[in-house]
């Protein structure tokens, strides 16, 4: 994993992670490798790393609420997240910024209490508003540029687990 500090900010990613109460994740390119496997009937198949699932469970057990905001619909992904106990699953979300604002206001959270993990341009605004902006090793340059922290693993290959462990360690040490 890589720890990045934006030049104009003094807090390290670990310091930012200590105050996190809500962790928000994108799906495609973060929880998956970003590829869609298309079947002859038009159905889609995606893969998710089992380690990421355990990371989400551990993060929840550490007292951090988890939410997923994705621009694409995916019933199998929603089912997997339900199996993991993730209650805030928002698929086919056209306005990620509005959804994040809704989640923040419903919980009376400050931006600094929210972590967001994204990988591509639709995640840019919600990552900018987060107290801890996380991304995957293979994120687009614009996302890497604003991230406080970059995983060693690419999306769909354990990057979510790395992010969860960063937050867990900081929350438990606080």
Binding residues: 26, 28, 119
Strands 2-3 and 149-150: antiparallel
CA 82 – CA 87 distance, rounded (Å): 7
What token pair was written down for 121? 């341009």
Query: Residues at the annotated binding site for substrate?
Result: 28
Containing H/E element for 128?
A: helix 124-129
Can you say which residues are annotated as belonging to the binding site for Mg(2+)?
26, 119
Return the HEC string of 60-124: HHCCCEEEEECCCCCHHHHHHHHHCCCCEEECCCCCHHHHHHHHHHHHCCCHHHEEEEECCHHHH
């Amino acid at each position: 994993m890589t720890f990045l500090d934006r030049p104009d900010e003094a807090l390290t990613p670990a310091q930012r992670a200590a105050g996190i109460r809500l962790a928000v994740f994108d799906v495609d390119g973060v929880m998956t490798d970003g590829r869609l496997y298309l079947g002859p009937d038009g159905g889609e198949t995606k893969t998710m790393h089992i380690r990421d699932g355990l990371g989400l469970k551990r993060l929840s057990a550490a007292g951090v609420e988890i939410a997923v905001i994705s621009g694409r619909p995916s019933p199998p992904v929603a089912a997997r997240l339900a199996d993991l106990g993730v209650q805030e699953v928002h698929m086919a979300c056209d306005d990620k910024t509005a959804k994040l604002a809704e989640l923040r206001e419903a919980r009376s959270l400050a931006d600094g209490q929210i972590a967001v993990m994204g990988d591509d341009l639709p995640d840019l605004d919600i990552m900018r508003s987060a107290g801890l902006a996380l991304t995957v090793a293979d994120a687009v340059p614009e996302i890497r540029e604003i991230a406080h922290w970059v995983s060693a693993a690419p999306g769909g290959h354990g990057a979510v687990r790395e992010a969860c462990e960063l937050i867990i360690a900081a929350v438990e040490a606080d």
